[in-house]
Every structure is written in C-alpha cells, then in structure tokens.
C-alpha cells in the first residue's frame, strides 16, 4: 500500500477488518509514503492487538507523518500479541525523535530483543 494517499481514516477502517481475523498468525504490511500520523498509528496498534495469535509481524511505515506521541498506544496494542516471536518495525523518515525511543513497545511479549 506504499506511495498512495492513505490517511488515518483509511487505516482505521482497514485495521478494523484485520482485527476480526482472530486466528491470524503472520502479517506483513507496507504503508510507506502515505499520510499516516502518530495518532493513526496508535489506533492501528490497538486493532492489531486483537490478533492475539500473531507470531510474526512486519510493519513498514517509512516516509509518513508519524510523531512519537502515540508510540505508547501503538506498543500497548501490539503488546497484547503475547505470542509474537518475530517483530520488525520500520519507521524511517518520520518525525520520531530520540526522546520517543524510550517508549516501551512490547511489554509482556516473548519478542526476541
């Protein structure tokens, strides 16, 4: 879905559907080069958190308008996926600063650090 004009509204609708896939174990999505903000990312994380059977998750959010304020909400959602053993997150070319890097992302999961 990269390089389009996807906004947070579109992302919210999309993740509602993904959140209904309770038995989903692997998910790889690319949303690079869109118009997604940190707030939308938080909502996305909450939706992914309903996919509690996930073991592998790769998300590409490079070149968006993401700031770090909602990384905690995003991380809390993903943290509900306690079976995760493989997690890759790409946030290159956004507006995340060093102060946001201390935000816990996957408390309570078995993700290999």
The pLDDT of residue 113 = 41
Read off the pLDDT of residues 66-103 as tens digits, 9 standing for 90 and up: 988 888 889 999 999 999 999 999 999 998 887 766 65
CA distances 96 to 69, 91, 93, 106, Å, are 8, 8, 8, 18
Q: Which of 7, 8, 10, 59 is nearest to 30 (CA)?
A: 59
32: number of Cβ within 10 Å: 18
pTM, two decimal places: 0.83
DSSP bridge pairs for 66: none
Read off the pLDDT of residues 52-72 as tens digits, 9 standing for 90 and up: 999 999 999 999 999 888 888
Distance CA 84, CA 58 (A): 11
């Amino acid at each position: 879905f990269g390089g389009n004009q996807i906004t947070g509204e579109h992302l919210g609708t999309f993740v509602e559907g993904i959140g209904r896939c309770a038995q989903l174990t692997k998910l790889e999505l690319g949303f690079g080069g869109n118009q997604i903000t940190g707030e939308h990312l938080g909502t996305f994380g909450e939706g992914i958190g309903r996919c509690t059977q996930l073991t592998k998750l790769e998300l590409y959010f490079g070149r968006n308008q993401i700031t770090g304020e909602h990384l905690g909400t995003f991380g809390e959602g993903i943290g509900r996926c306690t079976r995760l053993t493989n997690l890759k997150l790409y946030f290159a070319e956004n507006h995340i600063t060093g102060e946001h890097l201390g935000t816990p992302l996957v408390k309570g999961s078995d993700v290999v650090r």
